[in-house]
Structure 1
Amino acid sequence: MTRDSDTKTPGKKPRPDDRDARLKAALKANLGRRKAQARARAAQDDVSDDKTNKKDG
C-alpha cells in the first residue's frame, strides 16, 4: 500500500506567471495552426473552383 503523501512529489508549485506564459504560448501556437489550416482550406477551395470553371467554360 502506498500513502497519499508518498505519491505526491515534494516541491514548489509553479508560479502563476509561469503558467500564464505557458498558456499564452500554447494559445499562440494553436491560433497559428488554425490560421494555417484555414489558409490551406481556402487555397484548396480556390483550386477546385478554378478546375470546375474551366470544365464548364
Structure 2
Amino acid sequence: MAKDISEREARLAEALRANLRRRKTQSRAQTATESAAAPSADVTTEPSAS
C-alpha cells in the first residue's frame, strides 16, 4: 500500500510541475502579446480628473 501512495504522490507531483510549466508559458505568451500591442495603443492621452 505504501508503494501505491508513493506512486500516486509522484504522479501528482509531476502533474503539478507540468501544470506550472504550462501556466508559466501561457503567462509569458500573454505578457509578450500585451507588450507587443502597447506601442499601438494611444498612451498620449491624459487621464481625466475625477
Query: Which TM-score tier does this pair reach, normalised by the shorter chain?
Result: 0.7 to 0.9
User: What do residues 14-34 of structure 1 show as CA deviations (whole Å, max 9, x unaligned)?
Assistant: xx0010010000000000000
Deviation of 1:56 (Å): 1.9
Matched, 1:47 2:28: no
Trace 1:1-57 onto structure 2 (pairs within 5 A). Answer: 16-57=1-42
In structure 2, the gaps of 5 or more residues are 43-50
Partners of 1:50 and 1:36 in 2: how far apart? 21
Structure 1 residue ranges without an equivalent (≥5): 1-15
Partners of 1:48 and 1:23 in 2: CA distance: 37
Query: How far apart, in 2, do the equivalents of 1:19 and 1:54 lie?
Result: 54
TM-score in terms of structure 1 length:
0.69
Higher alpha-carbon Rg: 1
Tell me the matched-pair count: 42
RMSD between aligned alpha carbons? 0.9
Deviation of residue 55 (structure 1)?
1.7
